[in-house]
Chain A
Amino acid sequence: MNSIHLSARQIAQKVRAGELSALDVLEDHLRQIQTVDGAPGSLRHEHLNPAEENKVHAFIEVTAQRARRQAEQVQALVQRGEDPGPLAGVPVSVKDIFCVEGTTTTAASRILYNFRPPYTATTVERLEKAGALIIGKVNLDEFTYGSSSESSAFQPHPNNPWNTQRVTGGSSGGSAASVAAREVSLSLGTDTGGSIRQPAAFCGVVGLKPTYGRTSRYGLIAFGSSLDCPGPLARDAADAALMLQVLAGMDPKDSTSALAPVPDYLAALQEGVRGMRIGLSRDYDHITYPDTLTGEMSIQAIQPEMNSAVRDAAEVLARLGAEVVEDVPMPNARHGIPAYFVISRVEAASNLHRFDGVKYGYRTGTPVRGLSELYRATRAEGFGLQPKLRILMGMYVSAAQHSAQYYQKALRVRSMIRSDFEQAFDPRGAYRLDALLTPTTPTTAFLRKAVLGDSVLMQYSDQMTVAGNHAGIPAVSIPAGLDPLGLPIGVQFFGMDFREDLILRAAHAYEQATQNAEWRGITPQALRGSEVSA
């Protein structure tokens, strides 16, 4: 039996019961990485041989030794009759934006190519304490700035396991790809504008962005500090619930982490959707997109399968006893991306200030005269295009003479977006929703290089997801079918603050009801030919 086909719950249950060795689980997954992943991302731009073209390339660094030590500890606990934890023996990949002591933490940027943090992110610490095996660091857009994972300084970038000519989405592209290609059971990603949910949708896995403050940001290299959320990518809603259970909870090292009690997410799944009120919004069946020349906003249709997937999902839930609420107004959804463009970049520019070649990471090798030359050369050589664009934009819109017009205005838009959701979820309001159901993305996974270079268009692939980050509310993307090209479609549930349990319930109910759907029998391209028998 190859454990790569087991769910995280099954692995943990079998390892805890002594039916399966964590070391065997690890070897199965290392073998799978060996088979499908190909060369890890690196700064050396060698010519790839054609066979590598179709590999997944999810990883930057495989930490087999660390995982082996952890697996041995888990086994030792099992043998002593002690509890190795709820994630015992479960292989997990970590987006290379989390600091993990003993690993190089690159943020997929040249400027941190050699940075080895002397501390470990709280989320990673909690995973290991729960018995998870950290099997490696996975690739992403440089500093998480992107929606395709192509902008990594560490090439080759990840490819979509369903079709390696397509992107994984991003920025947690390596995370989504590694779960979809069964290289790991779970992955730890981050979501600032959609960076967990969009790649999850593109790669046909579940991606959960928790409520802001539900999971600790300590040890996460910041992008937009007021928007960033660590969260799970998993193969199904129950595995996501299992992982969230371990991640969630107050962290004294993160002042913005919440004290709110953590419910039993797995138990909640059993409660079903009968009586739940699931909203649909016409403001989420299209996108509003600026003309690149005139700046005029125009309404653009999204891929029709996206809307039908949402309709179908709503029907499934209605059959299960949920009440579907039509036409919930989300009038400010269309301002999500422009406001995000401003806020995230202002915070990003500030967060990137510390990378100056003085203390750690890359420092220019060219001789410099004086301090400002050191800064300029180091940052010019160390940062890729995306960090530079974000610094320029962030500096511009927060400058004293522009701040009122852009940054302060964007902050006001942000609170308007939040109030859209507050009205929809208000238990005494007109809609009284438990969840809002929308497409996760405007399209399925696009072709490699198709969007890279158009930073505005790239950003618009987050239009469906970004409102959740502005509002700070939880949202989960789940697979809901395949398009005519065989590419995964994702649908998304938004929920109210700290009610991950409700949206996971809806997700789980949908999964259960569609268990036998034809599309669920189709496996990603990267898995075909590899052992599928259980």
Chain B
Amino acid sequence: MKKYEVVIGLETHIQLNTTSKIFCACKADSWGAEPNTNICPVCSGLPGVLPVLNAEAVQKGALLAAAMHAEINPVSYFDRKNYFYPDLPKGYQITQFDEPIGKGGYMDLEMSDGSSRRVRIHKLHLEEDAGKTKIEQGERLVDFNRCGVPLIEMVTEPDLRSGEEAAQYLTQLRQLLRWIGVSEADMERGHLRCDANVSIREAGSTVLNTKTEIKNVNSIDAVRQAIMEEAKRQIEAVEAGRRIQSYTLDWDADTGTLRKMRSKESEADYRYIREPDLLPVRLSAEEIARVLESLPELPLARRARFIRDYQLSGYDADILTSERSLSDYYEESVRLCGGAAKVVSNWMMNDLSRLMNDTGKSAAQLRLRPADLAEIIRMVEDGKINPATGKSLLGKVEAAGGKPAEIVEREGLGLIADEDALSSQIAAVLAESAAEVESFRAGKESLLGWFVGQVMRRTGGKADPKRTRELLLEQLKR
């Protein structure tokens, strides 16, 4: 058998998390709303009404373009894509065709095996979403709630070479969208939707063969799996001497199989025209500069910096930059801790991440702020509390608030380092243990640990272990 390579391009639709829809004042998010309750004359396509562009959608679109290293177009246009469908109330979709908001761009994938790949962006434009239709008891039902929700359509060049890379692209894209705050990027809620174009060719070849389009894949796992299935099917077909036809395929997540939806040999003619109801979208040099300035340090750059500046492992850096508020949290904690980067990393990777799992909160949502974490870590490091107390403090601050030092004070959780207090406890232990003192002084110095344990028991574990040892030795050797 010949050696094949898979060629994949992804088309994603990203729902922007604006307050209102792209061309009217309806709420952008209709999650959980009854059908056709979040609509108005504009988004339901009544005659005579006109679209008014939502500036927030333009801002977020431009920010995403910048984050994808695309050029922000100083003058972009909206166009009409004409076709009939019941969920498209105007009979045309307002989209951007030949002069979109972003031009070019790429994303670098960092694969877990250490390899990397640059995926070029073919298209990045703003558009409105359509509604939803479904057939119920032989009747076609239409819900316009989703009409006019702002989307970015982003299409890659056919630069991906495996289901694994496609999954990594989506993982990084989802992270990026949340990182720059333009989308909730929840695939299950359709905030991030993906179609995959798949073809195969002999390894080393540069031709693009007939592709199939897989639709309706709404999780990253499904994208990986569907692409692997489809590549396998195409290889088998070609090996058997059959021709690949330009199908549209539907992914059935329940059975893990692909179903043919329709053959797609001829391209539809959408008769694109400029949208005469909207002015060109003009972004001045100052506005573009403002967008670029507002762009935060991106995940890959921050990951590299964490490895370099904090000497973190790649694994730790991955986790700590998986989400922007988490990585901000980390940096803030390190700063307040006076630079104990590795120690803070350990606390965050273990204890804080457990706390976040248990409470279901993101770093940004925690009541326990970086200042609190830093204070707890410092108390442990300074021997004011023991590590177990430190860990329990995380939960206490999160549950009830309050400053960690005050809780330690109030609840008497601090270690006893005071010489008089410790000395009297030690004296008491030695008075009760005449036989052991005898043995120790006779040379059985291994009993020291036993004495420490006795002091700990008397103090409920609050004796500073280091000081206790020193004082014990002093008194025993007297």
Q: Which residues of A contact B (CB under 8 A)?
A: 98-99, 105, 107, 112, 115, 117-119, 121, 217-222, 224-226, 252-256, 346-347, 349-350, 352-356, 358-360, 371, 375, 395, 398-400, 403, 407
Contact = CB atoms under 8 A, between A and B. Distances in A.
A159 B276 CA distance: 34
Given A255-B53, A353-B84, A358-B142, A225 B277 contact: yes
A140 B52 CA distance: 29
B47 A221 contact: yes
Given A353-B91, A358-B89, 13 more contacts: A99-B48, A105-B47, A105-B48, A119-B41, A119-B46, A253-B49, A255-B279, A256-B277, A346-B271, A350-B273, A354-B45, A354-B89, A354-B91
A368 to B, nearest CB: 12
Given A253-B52, A353-B91, A399-B269, A112 B82 contact: no
Interface string B249-283: 00000000000000000000101010011110000
Contacts of A99: 46-48
24 contacts: A98-B48, A105-B47, A121-B48, A217-B277, A218-B50, A220-B48, A222-B47, A224-B276, A252-B52, A253-B52, A254-B50, A255-B53, A256-B277, A346-B273, A350-B82, A350-B271, A350-B273, A353-B92, A354-B89, A355-B47, A356-B84, A358-B89, A359-B45, A359-B89
A217 B52 CA distance: 12
Nearest to B268: A400
Nearest to A411: B274
Contacts of B86: 356, 358, 371
Contacts of A220: 48
Contacts of B140: 371
Interface in B82-97: 82, 84, 86, 89-92
Nearest to B274: A226
Contacts of B80: 350
B398 to A, nearest CB: 47
Among B53, B89, B142, B278, residue most surrounded by chain A Cβ atoms (within 10 Å): B89
Identify the interface centre among B41, B269, B277: most chain A CB within 10 Å of its CB.
Answer: B277
B76 interface: no
A250 to B, nearest CB: 12
Interface in B1-51: 41, 44-51
B48 A225 contact: no
Interface in B148-174: none
Interface in B53-93: 53, 80, 82, 84, 86, 89-92
Contacts of B84: 353, 356, 375
A219 B48 contact: yes
Given A217-B50, A218-B49, A399-B269, A117 B41 contact: yes
Contacts of A224: 276
Contacts of B41: 117-119
Contacts of A349: 82
Contacts of A371: 86, 140
Contacts of B92: 350, 353
Contacts of B51: 255
Given A117-B41, A353-B84, A403-B271, A255 B47 contact: no
A354 B90 contact: yes
Given A400-B271, A403-B271, A226 B48 contact: no
Interface in B185-215: none
Nearest to A112: B47
A398 B271 contact: yes
A353 B90 contact: yes
A399 B276 contact: no
Given A98-B48, A219-B48, A350-B80, A356 B91 contact: yes
Interface of B: 41, 44-53, 80, 82, 84, 86, 89-92, 140, 142, 269, 271, 273, 276-279
A221 B90 contact: no
The 6 closest A-B pairs by CB, nearest first: A353-B91, A225-B276, A226-B276, A398-B271, A221-B47, A99-B48
Nearest to A251: B50
Contact of B46 (A117, A217, A356, A399): A117
Contact of A347 (B49, B89, B273): B273
Q: Which of B48, B82, B86, B279 has the largest count of A CB atoms less than 10 A from its CB?
A: B48
A117 B47 CA distance: 8
Nearest to B45: A354
A124 to B, nearest CB: 11
B50 A115 contact: no
Interface centre among B86, B92, B278, B279, by most chain A C-beta atoms within 10 angstroms, is B86
A112 B46 CA distance: 11
A254 B41 CA distance: 14
Contacts of A356: 84, 86, 91
Contacts of A359: 44-46, 89
A407 B47 CA distance: 24
Contacts of A222: 47-48, 277
A252 B269 CA distance: 33
A467 B286 CA distance: 38
A119 B46 CA distance: 10
Which interface residue of B41, B49, B142 has the most chain A CB atoms within 10 A?
B49
A375 B276 CA distance: 25
B172 to A, nearest CB: 36
Contacts of B50: 217-218, 253-256
A412 B334 CA distance: 62
Nearest to B269: A400
B278 A255 contact: yes
A407 B82 CA distance: 15
A148 B464 CA distance: 102
Contacts of A218: 48-50
A497 B69 CA distance: 41
Contacts of A403: 271
Nearest to A222: B48
Nearest to B87: A358
Nearest to A120: B48
Contacts of A107: 47
Contacts of B46: 99, 117-119, 359-360
A354 B47 contact: yes
A358 B277 CA distance: 23
Contacts of A358: 86, 89, 142
B94 to A, nearest CB: 11
B49 to A, nearest CB: 7
Nearest to A254: B50
Contacts of B47: 99, 105, 107, 112, 115, 117, 221-222, 354-355
Nearest to B271: A398
Contacts of A256: 50, 276-279
A407 B48 contact: no
B85 to A, nearest CB: 8
Contacts of A398: 271, 273
Nearest to A115: B47
Contacts of A400: 269, 271
A371 B89 CA distance: 14
A255 B277 contact: yes
Identify which of B47, B92, B271, B279 gathers the most chain A CB atoms within 10 Å of its CB.
B47
A219 B49 contact: yes
B273 A407 contact: yes
B27 to A, nearest CB: 19
Contacts of B277: 217, 222, 225, 255-256
B186 to A, nearest CB: 30
A406 to B, nearest CB: 12
Nearest to B81: A350
Contacts of A253: 49-50, 52
Contacts of A399: 269, 271
